Amino acid sequence: MEGLKLLPRFKGVSALAIASVSFGTSAILIRYATEVTALSLAFFRLLIAAVVMMIFVCSTRSLVRKLTATEAFFVIMSGVMLSLHFAAFIFAVKFTTVANATFLVNTSPVMLAVLSPVLIKERTTSREGVGVLAATLGVLLVADVGNGFRAFSYADISALVAAAFLSLYSLIGRYLRLRGMSTASYTAYVYSIATILALFLAETLGSKPFQTYDTTNIIAIVGLALVPTTIGHTLYNYSLGSVKAVTANLFPLLEPILASAFAVLLFGEIPTLVQIVGYLLILFAVVIVVTGSSVEQQTKALC
């Protein structure tokens, strides 16, 4: 009986693990999309993901539930946050290092640890607090060294803004998933709304997404849409049904470690010793928070 109670939690953490690996390819694929602007790339990755989820919903005959006025408002806000997050993150990756962009965008757990108790009444435990502090120190070590201890560039600031949008997106997703909205229904709505906003921004700001791209750019666009978006973000949203928002955002801190490893091999971005210390701190933060949450769930199951 206790095992059955913990099964959703296990599935949620497993989904996060796969999502984290998927997220690790995001920055690399963005780097290969050299001919596509940030807004255009955000539009294409969302469009393909939305189409895939719509096909999935239709093929499995999953019902896209009718939304209440409150749910519709939050779904729209979630789509807006996701679209803006993608645009800001892609801009950051294009104009700063992979390490800077991916580590800075993953400051979202720090923001969530503060926002969760206020907005959705979900307390942050002392163990999670330690994890957040360790992750913050690790992120600062990498980000500061990557910038030579100089003022952040616009791209670095964009990564922090992307983190803020991701935090709000996560809180809304957690709220709606706890209200019983299925992953398929939620993502089909959110990706579609995010696509519309991304297209509007791209056209309004002169990005001109509809043009001819070479094979490398097309592969990068499709890969970005399918791996970190359709697989990664869908599994991430699935996990929000059983995993707290702050934990869900600490676990994908593995993303910048994977992305930076790829960047070493593909772009020759060699980390310094201080950056490696930052990576280890982030790994420590992920382990302490995820294992701590597992202990908390087991304790509740036994009570």
Task: For 23-45, write each residue's pLDDT tens digit.
Answer: 889 999 999 999 999 999 999 99
> Does residue 301 have a pLDDT over 50?
no
Q: What is the DSSP-derived secondary structure letter of residue 253?
A: G
- Direct distance between the N- and C-terminal alpha carbons of the chain, in angstroms, rounded to an integer: 12
> Does residue 153 have a pLDDT over 50?
yes
> Does residue 293 have a pLDDT over 80?
no
Residues 6+ apart with CB under 8 A from 47: 195, 198, 199, 225
What's the CA gap between 84 and 53, in Å, rounded?
20
The Cα-based distances of 197 to 174, 193, 222, 272, 279 in angstroms read: 22, 6, 19, 39, 35
Half-sphere exposure of 214 (CA within 13 A, CB side): 5
What's the CA gap between 221 and 224, in Å, rounded?
5
List the Cα angle 245/247/248 in 5-degree steps.
60
pLDDT at res. 209: 92
pTM of the model: 0.82
Which conformational region is residue 254 in: left (phi greater than 0), alpha (psi within -120 to 50 degrees), or beta? alpha
> Does residue 1 have a pLDDT over 70?
no
In terms of C-beta density within 10 A (0-12 exposed, 13-18 middle, 19 or more buried), how is residue 56 classed?
Answer: middle
Closest CA to 245 of 302, 161, 178, 297: 178
What's the CA gap between 255 and 263, in Å, rounded?
12
* Res. 246 pLDDT band, cuts 50 70 90: low
In terms of C-beta density within 10 A (0-12 exposed, 13-18 middle, 19 or more buried), how is residue 149 classed?
Answer: exposed
Yes or no: say if 208 and 40 are a contact pair by the CB < 8 Å rule.
Answer: yes
Closest CA to 237 of 169, 161, 163, 285: 169
Q: What is the DSSP-derived secondary structure letter of residue 251?
A: G
> Does residue 20 have a pLDDT over 80?
yes
What is the residue extent of each domain of the chain? 2-302
Give percent of the chain above pLDDT 90: 32
pLDDT, average across residues 221-247: 84
